[in-house]
């Protein structure tokens, strides 16, 4: 945190003090640790390093970016940071970025197609080297267009056919839910799917119904309702189901928050959980464990997902071979479905 009083120190300053040219300073300072010797004698190297350290030299990233046209900046777009899941994924991204000396910065798109476009442009205007999208929509051509322009990006949380993505294996997660319900003998299922245009919603839902179908159980369409991933959406979806007079002994919500919303409505209507209805969420947020009736849920590797997406983006930008990954989910059985 050494800050010079007068002028902030530059490579020129170091060069003068060390009695070498600014070119040498630059090469020594920007070479990887083990290769500094390639450009200067050991004494020169250590002299420069010491001086830099002592005077608190910090490279001016604007100047460097201008010269190299690389910013070491990556932009991250998420639906909402308020969403615990995305916030956690972002923490993983930030953590990995920090380790690699890459700065990340994040914006909210509110799942709005227009905002998505606008925010992306803002980030490109800031000359980010690459992008991470946590808000991919199955129904929008935006990402396909973006690829035309040759901008490197990876998706996380949600995937989209034909694009590089690091996600949870949501389909497998859905199947786990189905298997658990079959074991418990609760197959009169209702699905609060989340947002229809999100692969997370689709994959979780289809994993569940596919596996049930394999067991000879059909889930008719009126039992699947897409309202959103948050608490309010969970309330609304559950309320609609009950109003429609649909009877059920198992509710799967594509998100813990939606599940908690649903829980409130179920209790208001006099259903006991898990007595009358088993309730299962998704993501294993801390709330799942702490809420009145501990929630059975699928644990998704949010933090690792974030880390891995940043690392993958870096590999992509470095021209290394990369491929999509689906990280394994895990079933966490708690009181809300034991019965």
Beta carbons of 199 and 164 less than 8 angstroms apart? no
Beta carbons of 74 and 310 less than 8 angstroms apart? yes
Interface residues with its own copies (CB under 8 A) are: 1, 3, 58, 60-63, 65-66, 71, 80-82, 84, 87-88, 90-91, 94, 98, 103-108, 117, 121-122, 124-127, 145, 149, 230-232, 234-235, 257, 260-261, 263-264, 267, 286-287, 289-292
Beta carbons of 172 and 328 less than 8 angstroms apart? yes
324 binds DNA (CB under 7 A): no
Pick what 39 binds: its own copies, DNA, none; C-beta below 5 to 8 Å, kind-dependent.
Answer: DNA
Comparison of 137 and 334: residue with beta carbon closer to its own copies? 334
8 binds DNA (CB under 7 A): yes
39 binds DNA (CB under 7 A): yes
Using CA atoms, how far residue 242 sits from 249, 279, 336, in Å, is: 12, 15, 19
Gap between the Cα atoms of 311 and 147, Å rounded: 19
Distance of CA 139 to the CA centre of its chain: 19
Within the chain, residue ranges assigned H as helices are 11-18, 22-30, 42-55, 61-68, 84-100, 113-125, 142-148, 170-184, 199-214, 231-243, 256-268, 286-290, 302-317
Pick what 147 binds: its own copies, DNA, none; C-beta below 5 to 8 Å, kind-dependent.
Answer: none
Site string for DNA, 62-101 (x = CB under 7 A): -xx-xxxx--------------------------------
184 binds DNA (CB under 7 A): no
Q: What share of the chain is helix, strand, coil (3-state, %, to 5)?
A: 50, 15, 35
Region from 35-43, 144-152, 174-182, 254-262 binding DNA, contact rule CB under 7 A: 35-43
- In the complex, the smallest distance separating the C-beta of residue 15 from its own copies, rounded to whole angstroms, is 18
Among 4, 16, 21, 214, binds DNA (CB under 7 A): 21
């Amino acid at each position: 945190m050494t800050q010079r009083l007068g002028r902030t120190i530059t490579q020129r300053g170091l060069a003068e003090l060390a009695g070498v040219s600014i070119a040498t300073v630059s090469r020594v300072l920007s070479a990887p640790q083990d290769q500094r010797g390639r450009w200067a004698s050991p004494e020169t190297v250590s002299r420069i390093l010491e001086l830099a350290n002592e005077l608190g030299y910090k490279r001016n990233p604007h100047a460097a970016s201008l010269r190299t046209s690389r910013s070491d900046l990556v932009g991250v777009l998420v639906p909402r940071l308020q969403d615990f899941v995305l916030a956690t994924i972002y923490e993983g991204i930030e953590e990995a970025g920090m380790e690699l000396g890459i700065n990340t910065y994040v914006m909210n798109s509110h799942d709005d197609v227009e905002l998505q476009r606008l925010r992306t442009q803002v980030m490109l205007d800031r000359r980010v080297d690459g992008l991470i999208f946590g808000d991919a929509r199955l129904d929008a051509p935006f990402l396909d267009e973006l690829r035309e322009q040759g901008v490197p990006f990876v998706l996380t949380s949600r995937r989209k056919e034909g694009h590089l993505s690091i996600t949870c294996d949501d389909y497998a997660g859905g199947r786990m839910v189905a298997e658990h319900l079959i074991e418990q003998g609760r197959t009169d299922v209702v699905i609060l799917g989340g947002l229809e245009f999100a692969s997370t919603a689709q994959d979780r839902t289809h994993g569940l119904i596919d596996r049930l179908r394999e067991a000879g159980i059909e889930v008719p369409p009126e039992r699947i309702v897409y309202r959103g991933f948050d608490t309010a959406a969970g309330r609304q979806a559950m309320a609609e189901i009950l109003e429609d007079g649909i009877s059920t002994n198992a509710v799967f919500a594509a998100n813990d928050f939606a599940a908690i919303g649903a829980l409130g409505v179920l209790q208001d209507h006099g259903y006991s959980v898990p007595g009358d209805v088993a309730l299962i969420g998704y993501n294993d947020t801390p709330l799942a464990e702490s809420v009145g009736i501990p929630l059975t849920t699928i644990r998704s590797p949010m933090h690792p997902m974030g880390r891995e997406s940043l690392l993958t983006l870096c590999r992509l930008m470095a021209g290394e071979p990369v491929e999509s990954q689906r990280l394994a989910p895990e079933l966490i059985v708690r009181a809300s479905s034991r019965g």
